[in-house]
Structure 1
Amino acid sequence: MPFIHTQVHRDTPQAQRQGIVDGIHQALIDAIGMPQDELFNRVSAYAPGDFFYSRSFNGMARSDKLVVVEITMRRGRSDAMKRDLYARIARNLKANAGVAPDDVFIFTHENDYSDWSVGGGKFAMALVQQPGPT
């Protein structure tokens, strides 16, 4: 179950925020086989003076509306799967929310089941995953 933290410029309209969340979610489904009902994405907004970054690092042409996608997920995805995931996120954000690919900054944190409790204060390794209603 990936947990996503997405940071957007505070002037990002709600409809665009929803398009960003939807684009990330669909990329996770398509690239790593995440179940449809595993949507956990916390969106935070930053003000212009709260986030400093290079507009040209690594040859990119970033605007003042950078979207940062932080993905925490269980270990085990190959580099090829992550490469596909990153490409899909950038494509989906452009298509769904009009975000320029150079404005999409993605990074992951990986851990194990023992690092999660997904509800009820229960150790995630002790739970059998229960799919939600379809």
Structure 2
Amino acid sequence: MPCVKIDMIKGVRSPDEIKHLAEVVQEVFLDKFAAPNRDRYQVITQHEPYELIFEDTGLNIPRTEKLVFIQIFQQGRSADQKRALYASLAERLEKDCGVPGSDLVISCNRNEKEDWSFGYGRAQFLEGDL
């Protein structure tokens, strides 16, 4: 059950382009992380250009206004699954959404079953609902 935060610069993409980008991200998750079909948790936030500051950690990676930062909160994926996800996201987002690989930054964070409540103040994973 990945939860995905997608951050980008405001005004660079149309609403339809943003929806398409979110769809592509979901397709990659279904394929590479074996997420169930109706397991979709995405938060998309647009920022002023001065609110997203992404330098390249000395890697000489050029950034543009097309920058997309994807934060993934997930459980139980292997390093190989994460590598496959990163590569597939880079390939698909460039091909389908015009996001250059140099403008894609991904961070994958692990969480546990007790870290989630899907509603009603209940811990559905711990209570056996999921």
TM-score by length of 2: 0.90
- Contact 2:9 2:52 (C-alpha < 8 Å) held by counterparts: no
Amino acid at match of 1:52: I
Amino acid at match of 2:82: K
1:21 match: 22
Alpha-carbon RMSD across the aligned residues, in angstroms, is 1.5
1:115 match: 115
Distance 1:95 1:127, change over 3 A: farther
Residue 61 of structure 1 and its aligned partner are, at CA, apart by 2.3
Alignment of 1:90-129 (within 5 A): 90-123=90-123, 124-129=125-130
Equivalents in 1 of 2:107, 2:57: separation in Å? 18
Q: State whether structure 2 residue 70 is matched by structure 1 residue 64.
A: no
Amino acid at match of 2:78: S
Residue 59 of structure 1 and its aligned partner are, at CA, apart by 3.4
Amino acid at match of 2:44: V
Amino acid at match of 2:98: G
2:5 match: 5
The alignment covers a number of residue pairs equal to: 128
Deviations 1:22-52 (A, max 9, x none): 1111111111100111111110001112122
Residue 4 of structure 1 and its aligned partner are, at CA, apart by 0.7
Amino acid at match of 1:21: A
Amino acid at match of 2:54: Y
TM-score by length of 1: 0.87
Q: Which runs of 5+ in 1 are unaligned?
A: 130-134
The structure with more helix, counted as a fraction of residues: 1
Q: Which runs of 5+ in 2 are unaligned?
A: none
Equivalents in 2 of 1:39, 1:23: separation in Å? 12
Residue 114 of structure 1 and its aligned partner are, at CA, apart by 0.8
| Seq. identity, % | 23
Amino acid at match of 2:128: L
